[in-house]
Structure 1
Amino acid sequence: MPTWLVARRNQNNNGAFIMIKIKKKFLIASILSISIITNTLSACSFQNRTDENAAPFVSSESISSPLLSPEQDNNTQAQSTPSNISAGYFPDSRPLLITGGASVDTSSVVPCIKAYTINPDLSNISNLQQFYLTEEMAEKLARNGFVVQDRGCNEFFELYEINRYAQIPNFVTVDSLMHTYHLYFSYLLKNIERTYLKECMTQLSGHMLADSMAQYDRLKGSQWESAARRNVAFFAVGAKLLDENTEVPDYVKELAGRELESIAQATGNAMSELAENYEDYSQYIPRGYYEGDSSLEQYFKAMMWYGRIHFPQDKEDMNRSALLMIMALSKNQAAYDLWESAYVVTSFFAGASDDNGVCEYASAIRQIYGDSPTLDTLLEDENAFSKFQDLIALLPAPQINSIPIDDGEDNVIPGFRFMGQRFTIDGTIMQNLIYQRVGENSSGQRRMLPDVLDVPAALGSDMALRILEDAGAADYAGYSQNMDRLKQALSKDNEALWSASLYAGWLNTLRPLLTAKGEGYPVFMQNEEWLKKDLECFAGSFTELKHDTILYSKQVLAEMGGGEEEQDDRGYVEPEPLVYARFAFLADQTAQGLASYGMLTEDDKENLSRLSYIANQLLTISNKELTEELLTDEEYDFIRYYGGTIEHFWYETIKNEGASESISTQEYPAGVVVDIATDPNGQVLEAATDNPSSIYVVVQVDGKLKIAKGTVYSFYQFPWPLSDRLTDTKWRQMMGMVPDETGYYNFSFPLSKPDWTYSYRCDSP
């Protein structure tokens, strides 16, 4: 077995091993360095892997870079790919893990619903007597064909079950389906972190601490001593966060202790002696589903440490530390296997690292030092280290900055991270639409925090862009130009970009919501208010996505009695066939990816298959609705019992969480909060969802107009003090979803929803 890092290989039908070469492309604009990176997800490996144990591979040789000229493209490849790397050693890029296309052809379905008229007094609504409507609700229902009312229930499924007992037609929403995926996505990731990744990172930290201590003993007295000592402290902190019984060497006890104290206090920006830079220690507040679980809180803090602490290329001693880490991994196969396993599995969920890391630096080390460098090699050839620094300086910079910087400094700082936080499409969008990528506005103000609507606007939503411009975004110097470049780069269907991880696939599933619906669609979908409603669905699901991946995503800085007359309760599905097709693909790829890692239980396999089945049923029904084909009795029953169908997933994800046998939605409400961007001056941008709202929609079923009712997201975004990053518990107490420590429910609703949502809601700001 070679002592250096060998490429992960795939095996063909004849048993031969074939090197999979994947190009790493970047979308780079010449002004303000706007770029979208098509990252890949795996890592280099010590040994050959067979199909039985390896994740599926997708070649992306043909990925193009639309903002890059051929000369620039070639130069970028030359810079990011050290030469003379033989096929026997690991590649400089990482193969994709999800197979198959990210788009689904629905061109054969042409919407052809005949237009219908809603009387101003709603007199042609066949089931109007089933509802109590305020004057405001009735007016908006007649004008727009729908209206949204706050707080219908604690969880999405509840309203659908109430409808079934009350014989009210269900309106099945995209919101309810995406929320169900959020529940199961977070459940799967949490279980993997509990049962595998926590122990994996604990063992890895132990290996790296021991190996770093051995390096320090060998390098004392040399110019490598300081870098080696730093690594001992770095891994001592990580190991101590995961296992409080870790013994910290005396010579780094004070340094590591100060870092551990800062992490425990988590008060905000402070100078890190180890990183020799400011670190935002508020990031170490356990948030998302990590809050309240002591084991997961330990894992959260350690992974945040390994993902955030940066070894910048402009500091020689930091480069020495990074090189020594790679050297330690190259001599310890068990450690490398643990690192690779943790990186690949988390990348499958959240995406590839935004920073250069083990593979990129190891490739440069091999080119400069040869196949099997030793510590003696480093000591004997200091000139080689200078060449190494020159080579890594050519590696591409990260797309997202997460380090506090001063005005005038470069706002993307290249360097090394041991387990870097992940590239996200939305992160790159937001990074390019805040200061310093955009300048001051006419009043001298700086855009220090993005807006969630920046993301759908860059993905093509004219409505989102109009709302942003009305709020003054275009007044910031360079905002419109940067937005135009982002829209151009993201307008093309890039399969590799959208199928690079479950995170990307989730975002891709939401994209069809941003397309305006015209003639042939139901009347309620053809107005601007529906476009805004779809934006709130996008923002709500996006919030849940960020909530579930907060650790990995890199931040930008009642039952009723019988006896009544039977009602025609045949319901309706929100006709978004492309959303449902992509959702089915996403559920299938979730199962396929986990199976390839041996992490798919029979229960999870069955549940993911159910999710795919639900989406395919909704796809079939949507296509029938859009062509005015009458549904079968079985399909109407599917809509009628939809609440019980998705309730199954809610129960599956929380049944083992509580101490009591009884589980209620009041204990586990739908609302969540996540901080998605940081202003180093002392604020973060919080995105949040409240308990779901009710939507009333005028639909046409078998030639009759009726009101159908469903659940939709209730979205918020607001700035909040950096030192008090909100947890789900704090948010739910603030909004009266759960009682506080004294048992008191806060019903004061201290926050307002975004202004653009009130035009289709029945409540007033």
Structure 2
Amino acid sequence: MDGKTICNGSITYTPNGISLLQWQAGSDGVTLYLDRGQKIVPLAKGIRLVSTPSSVADGRGMVVVTKQAEKFSLRYLPIDVPLADVVNAWMFLESSQDRELFSTNSGLFRALEYNQLYELYDSESYQCGNYDQSTPTRPYFVTTDIFWELYAAAYEGIFVLSEKQAAIFHFWEFVRQANESLQSKPESKMAKAFSAMVAVRDSDTDNIEAKKIIAAEGSSLSSVTGEPFDFGNLTPRSHYAADSELQTYFRASKYLMDLALTESDVVQLKALPESAIQSARNWINVYTPFIVPSKRPLLWEPTTAIPKYVRHPDTNAQAFPLSWGIDNEILFSTVYHSDLPAEEQITGPQGHRFLPSGLDLASVLGSQLAETILTQSGEFQKYPPLKLQIAYLKNKVNDSLREYPENIYQQWLSGLAVQWSTSINAPGNTINTKIWSAKRLQTGLASWATLRHATLLVNERVVAECGEGGFEFIVLRPPRGYVEPDPKTFEAIAKMFDATIKLVKTHGKNWNGNTPDDNLALQEGIIRRLSESRDRVLAFRTMAQKEISGQPLTNQEYEDIRYVARSAEHNFLIFKSLAQKDFALSTPDPIPKVADVAAGNGKFLLAGVGSPLEWDQIVPFFGRKQIVKGSTYSYHEISSPSVMTDNEWRSKLTTVPRPEWIKEFISADELSCPAKAP
């Protein structure tokens, strides 16, 4: 008992193992010791027991023997023990704060130092007893997060593979051909711009503009346009910081995308030779399956299909059709724009709203908690038009998500809408809806930040304008885990894998190389891994459905939960290898990452993923309850005077605050390993 000695009488554990009951002959009642002796509570006052009491299975009472006038009586006495029917509570309580969090919210989160979500699912096997009955081992909780992250690895891996095997080649062909053609008018802006891009490709810093593009430092006067240009925005970030080829490609292509085109520029680019225009189309077409259409007209197409949800299409043509998803439209519509109708201007008594929040997106896509947080934080009071805009956007959302059903970017957003909007009720109401809603909001926002991170280059960033007796030992049981009872989200993730399989079948025919573990042709190997991952997600969906309907899981399903890391880790590493040279298996980058998703008033909104959190949650367990542990995303968003690379984000992550709406569920303590006795 943390160095304290309990003397005299008999001592027994309560069924949940978090406290001790002491009975002493000749004394009334019993004494309950909580928090490893830090809290002492007398029970059954005024009742003289003649023998050691016996706790009933649910922990809510004792069977005792009393004596009165030489007459013995067998009695049941109700007692108040925290988490009484949670059979393994003792494995998860490190402090009185933990006990309060479990009692109030049915669960809690803990900060982890792991680099990947799946690492937690090896923690008990390798560090805490390796699933035997001699050392206590905690059961696992299979969350949707590990499969969101597995899908993200597949999406980004195929995205980067497509860039390396096709997009980069076609881009440089376009630049080469356009540059040769434009030299007939060497003093034109476009001729100078394409000459600068060629110089970037060749690392030629004698070209003044190329030198600034390569340096990517702040805003300065462009020698091409004669106007200020934000060269700092050309800092390679996301996966483009991985190697020199991607860095050079990012700087040059982002430069072209960020150039504001005049009418004469458009005329020049439209007059390029057909071979150059075809190279540009080939470059664009590599990205088309991964993103949604632009809100701007395209240079080399007679007609442009602007998404129907776009309220204010942009008439300025551009060389690359930067993606404008429903998320872009939401972030655009929830900040101030001086040129919009008065009723759409997000402003208030204290000024204009220049930066949106991920909560705007979640609220529109169905998260009641996100809207509540916006209300409680005073956003609607500060900016009265904001609530009307969110209501308007909600009416547009259902139609927009159906508009591009085969597009995997839109399917990702549809999956987030499922996670945020579907009603949730755990079997027996064991999972408190407050913590579960906060977890689902955090998971969705982190998954969205991951999507924006992968598509950072080709996604348009929103810009706002302006003693005696014996001692009873705990009987250890083989750990039996649980699946987050959210079958609709598991199903949505499986559909995303299906859509990606179709993409690979259509667009992967000319990929070169072999998958690293089985030496299959690249397209065949990727389809196999995507199919395996989809099938595992569907298997856990089935388990979640069985939990909700009260059906028992099979021994094999419990084994699948126990070894869930096997379902995630290997295919995760395969998908990550697609971005590596020669598809080599290697240690992937840590999970923290960041994307700049909006800008306004000299600041950038950074949406980022932090280090994983552990989610310890009370769930049903054969008529009683138990605590299980799983991993979840963590989400952060901050305003910053500059964009950040992933490495910069990771170095500053300890100083980045967590959202207020998640802080109340965070424990200050890590779990001991192995679990400590009370």
- Mark yes or no: TM-score above 0.5: yes
Q: Distance in 1 between matches of 2:220 and 2:354?
A: 19
- The alpha carbon displacement at 1:294 in A equals 0.4
In the other structure, the counterpart of 1:672 is: 593
1:591 to 501, 504, 511: 501
Q: Does 1:567 align with 2:485?
A: no
In the other structure, the counterpart of 1:716 is: 636
Structure 2 alignment gaps of length 5 or more? 1-57, 61-79, 132-136, 338-343, 464-473, 512-521, 670-678
1:760 to 665, 671, 678: 665
Moved more, 427-436 or 701-710: 701-710
**CA displacement, residues 476-495 of structure 1 (integer Å, 9 cap, x when unaligned):** 14212211111111144742
Q: Distance in 2 between matches of 1:207 and 1:611?
A: 42
Seen in structure 2, the aligned counterparts of structure 1 residues 519 and 530 have a Cα distance that, compared at 3 Å, is closer
In the other structure, the counterpart of 2:644 is: 726
Query: Which aligned pairs between 1:518-529 and structure 2 lie closer than 5 A?
Result: 521=427, 523-525=429-431, 527-529=433-435
**CA displacement, residues 129-185 of structure 1 (integer Å, 9 cap, x when unaligned):** 333432122212122221111115221111111234354211111111111112222
What is the DSSP-based 3-state SS (H/G/I as helix, E as strand, rest coil) of the residue aligned with 2:358? coil
Seen in structure 2, the aligned counterparts of structure 1 residues 522 and 618 have a Cα distance that, compared at 3 Å, is farther
- The alpha carbon displacement at 1:440 in A equals 2.9
- The alpha carbon displacement at 1:258 in A equals 4.1
Query: Which aligned pairs between 1:147-166 and structure 2 lie closer than 5 A?
Result: 147-151=108-112, 153-164=114-125, 165-166=130-131
Residue identity opposite 2:288 in structure 1: S
**CA displacement, residues 581-606 of structure 1 (integer Å, 9 cap, x when unaligned):** 22111112112112212245222112
**CA displacement, residues 206-245 of structure 1 (integer Å, 9 cap, x when unaligned):** 111122234x38xxxxxxxx7xx22222322333333447
2:388 to 455, 478, 481: 481
- The alpha carbon displacement at 1:574 in A equals 0.8
In the other structure, the counterpart of 1:324 is: 268
Residue identity opposite 1:462 in structure 2: Q
In the other structure, the counterpart of 1:701 is: 621
In the other structure, the counterpart of 2:254 is: 304
- The alpha carbon displacement at 1:573 in A equals 1.0
In the other structure, the counterpart of 1:128 is: 89
Q: Distance in 2 between matches of 1:301 and 1:493?
A: 32
Q: Distance in 2 between matches of 1:357 and 1:663?
A: 39
Is the contact between residue 330 and residue 393 of structure 2 (CA under 8 Å) also seen in structure 1?
Answer: yes
Seen in structure 2, the aligned counterparts of structure 1 residues 363 and 676 have a Cα distance that, compared at 3 Å, is closer
- The alpha carbon displacement at 1:303 in A equals 2.1
**CA displacement, residues 596-619 of structure 1 (integer Å, 9 cap, x when unaligned):** 122452221121112211111122
What is the DSSP-based 3-state SS (H/G/I as helix, E as strand, rest coil) of the residue aligned with 2:347? coil
1:242 to 192, 196, 201: 201
Query: Which aligned pairs between 1:243-322 and structure 2 lie closer than 5 A?
Result: 243-244=202-203, 257-272=207-222, 274-275=224-225, 278-311=228-261, 318-322=262-266
What is the DSSP-based 3-state SS (H/G/I as helix, E as strand, rest coil) of the residue aligned with 2:597? strand
In the other structure, the counterpart of 1:608 is: 530
In the other structure, the counterpart of 1:195 is: 165
- The alpha carbon displacement at 1:662 in A equals 9.8
Seen in structure 2, the aligned counterparts of structure 1 residues 412 and 473 have a Cα distance that, compared at 3 Å, is farther
In the other structure, the counterpart of 2:105 is: 144
Is the contact between residue 170 and residue 572 of structure 1 (CA under 8 Å) also seen in structure 2?
Answer: yes
Q: Distance in 2 between matches of 1:258 and 1:200?
A: 25
- The alpha carbon displacement at 1:503 in A equals 1.8
1:625 to 547, 562, 573: 547
In the other structure, the counterpart of 2:331 is: 430
Work out the number of aligned pairs and report it.
553
In the other structure, the counterpart of 1:637 is: 559
Seen in structure 2, the aligned counterparts of structure 1 residues 120 and 234 have a Cα distance that, compared at 3 Å, is farther
Query: Which aligned pairs between 1:74-223 and structure 2 lie closer than 5 A?
Result: 121-151=82-112, 153-164=114-125, 165-166=130-131, 167-214=137-184, 216=185
Seen in structure 2, the aligned counterparts of structure 1 residues 761 and 438 have a Cα distance that, compared at 3 Å, is farther
**CA displacement, residues 105-146 of structure 1 (integer Å, 9 cap, x when unaligned):** xxxxxxxxxxx9998611211122333432122212122221
Seen in structure 2, the aligned counterparts of structure 1 residues 529 and 751 have a Cα distance that, compared at 3 Å, is same
Q: Does 1:535 align with 2:441?
A: yes
Is the contact between residue 308 and residue 417 of structure 1 (CA under 8 Å) also seen in structure 2?
Answer: no
Greater radius of gyration (CA): 2
In the other structure, the counterpart of 1:83 is: none
Q: Distance in 1 between matches of 2:151 and 2:555?
A: 27
Q: Distance in 2 between matches of 1:186 and 1:448?
A: 30
Q: Distance in 2 between matches of 1:762 and 1:358?
A: 54
In the other structure, the counterpart of 1:442 is: 349
In the other structure, the counterpart of 1:338 is: 279
Moved more, 524-533 or 481-490: 524-533
- The alpha carbon displacement at 1:277 in A equals 5.4
Residue identity opposite 1:728 in structure 2: D
Seen in structure 2, the aligned counterparts of structure 1 residues 432 and 521 have a Cα distance that, compared at 3 Å, is farther
What is the DSSP-based 3-state SS (H/G/I as helix, E as strand, rest coil) of the residue aligned with 1:634? helix
Is the contact between residue 398 and residue 413 of structure 1 (CA under 8 Å) also seen in structure 2?
Answer: no
What is the DSSP-based 3-state SS (H/G/I as helix, E as strand, rest coil) of the residue aligned with 1:122? coil
Is the contact between residue 292 and residue 324 of structure 2 (CA under 8 Å) also seen in structure 1?
Answer: yes
Moved more, 627-636 or 234-243: 234-243
**CA displacement, residues 425-465 of structure 1 (integer Å, 9 cap, x when unaligned):** 1111011111125343222x221111111101111222111
**If the length of structure 1 is used for normalisation, what is the TM-score?**
0.67
Moved more, 568-577 or 521-530: 521-530
Q: Distance in 2 between matches of 1:516 and 1:278?
A: 47
Residue identity opposite 1:441 in structure 2: G
**CA displacement, residues 462-513 of structure 1 (integer Å, 9 cap, x when unaligned):** 211121122222121421221111111114474224x353222112112122
Seen in structure 2, the aligned counterparts of structure 1 residues 618 and 636 have a Cα distance that, compared at 3 Å, is same
Moved more, 709-718 or 576-585: 576-585
Moved more, 118-127 or 195-204: 118-127
In the other structure, the counterpart of 1:51 is: none
Query: Which aligned pairs between 1:49-88 and structure 2 lie closer than 5 A?
Result: none
What is the DSSP-based 3-state SS (H/G/I as helix, E as strand, rest coil) of the residue aligned with 1:688? strand
Q: Distance in 2 between matches of 1:269 and 1:493?
A: 36
Is the contact between residue 430 and residue 620 of structure 2 (CA under 8 Å) also seen in structure 1?
Answer: no
Q: Distance in 2 between matches of 1:117 and 1:530?
A: 26
Q: Distance in 1 between matches of 2:567 and 2:483?
A: 14
**CA displacement, residues 266-300 of structure 1 (integer Å, 9 cap, x when unaligned):** 33344546456553322201011111410001111
Is the contact between residue 296 and residue 313 of structure 2 (CA under 8 Å) also seen in structure 1?
Answer: no
Seen in structure 2, the aligned counterparts of structure 1 residues 469 and 191 have a Cα distance that, compared at 3 Å, is same
Seen in structure 2, the aligned counterparts of structure 1 residues 129 and 762 have a Cα distance that, compared at 3 Å, is closer
Moved more, 649-658 or 487-496: 649-658
What is the DSSP-based 3-state SS (H/G/I as helix, E as strand, rest coil) of the residue aligned with 2:462? coil
- The alpha carbon displacement at 1:763 in A equals 4.0
**CA displacement, residues 627-677 of structure 1 (integer Å, 9 cap, x when unaligned):** 111112222111111012211133324558599x99557xx3211122111
Seen in structure 2, the aligned counterparts of structure 1 residues 206 and 399 have a Cα distance that, compared at 3 Å, is farther
Seen in structure 2, the aligned counterparts of structure 1 residues 524 and 272 have a Cα distance that, compared at 3 Å, is farther
2:612 to 686, 692, 708: 692
Q: Distance in 2 between matches of 1:511 and 1:349?
A: 18
Seen in structure 2, the aligned counterparts of structure 1 residues 480 and 278 have a Cα distance that, compared at 3 Å, is farther
Is the contact between residue 427 and residue 550 of structure 2 (CA under 8 Å) also seen in structure 1?
Answer: no
Among the aligned pairs, what percent are the same residue? 22
What is the DSSP-based 3-state SS (H/G/I as helix, E as strand, rest coil) of the residue aligned with 1:306? helix
Q: Distance in 2 between matches of 1:302 and 1:160?
A: 42
Q: Distance in 1 between matches of 2:651 and 2:388?
A: 41
**CA displacement, residues 322-367 of structure 1 (integer Å, 9 cap, x when unaligned):** 1332232xx42x434322222122121122233211344x459xxx
- The alpha carbon displacement at 1:566 in A equals 5.9
Residue identity opposite 1:729 in structure 2: N
